[in-house]
Amino acid sequence: MLVVTRHRETADPEEFLTRAETALTVLAGRPGYVSGAIGRAADDPELWLLTTRWVDVGAYRRALSAYEVKVHAVPLLSTAVDEPTAFEVLSEVVGAGEPAQPLRGRSDLASDAGSVGLGSAAAPAVRSDLPGRSA
């Protein structure tokens, strides 16, 4: 699961970076977190990016329900540009010269993906839209 939020920060870039680092640190402490990064557009210094990787959609949803995440990360995440943010990874190139790892037919898309928003439907297991798969 790849989560991408874009943020438009026009006031104080140092303050935004501090808030984003705090959010990323709190998210990194949650089970199922794989990696994360903060970036800023080279051509538009007011456009920021926060990305996180998760083992599956269930881990991401459960992370959003944790108290420390609600306090330190959700306020930042709620200021993101209003667009889809969670993506299932379908293919990936691991490193230089490594072959792509096709994941076609192995969707982890939750069956309620079209009706769930930020911080809702956290559960120990989330059903997949494909038979025999769950988070």
In contact, 7 and 26? CB cutoff 8 Å: no
Domains and CATH numbers, the chain: 1-93+101-135 (3.30.70.100)
Looking at the predicted structure, is the pLDDT value of residue 5 above 60? yes
Contact (Cβ atoms closer than 8 angstroms) between residue 90 and residue 81? no
pLDDT in tens, 6-26: 999 888 899 999 999 999 999
Q: Is it the case that residue 135 has pLDDT exceeding 60? A: no
- Which residues lie below 8 Å from residue 103, measured CB to CB, with a gap of 6+? 89, 90, 91, 92
27 compared with 116, residue with greater pLDDT: 27
Average pLDDT over residues 105-109: 56
pLDDT exceeds 60 at position 124: no
- Residue scoring higher pLDDT (96 or 46): 46
The pLDDT value given to residue 92: 75
Please state, for a pLDDT cut of 90, what percent of the chain lies above it.
61
- Cα atoms in the 13 Å half-sphere on the side-chain side of 8: 3
Mean pLDDT taken over the chain: 82
Of 55-64, 85-94, 100-109, minimum mean pLDDT range: 100-109
Distance between CA 104 and CA 97 in Å, rounded? 21
- Evaluate if residue 106 carries a pLDDT over 60: no
Confidence of residue 104 (pLDDT cuts 50, 70, 90): low
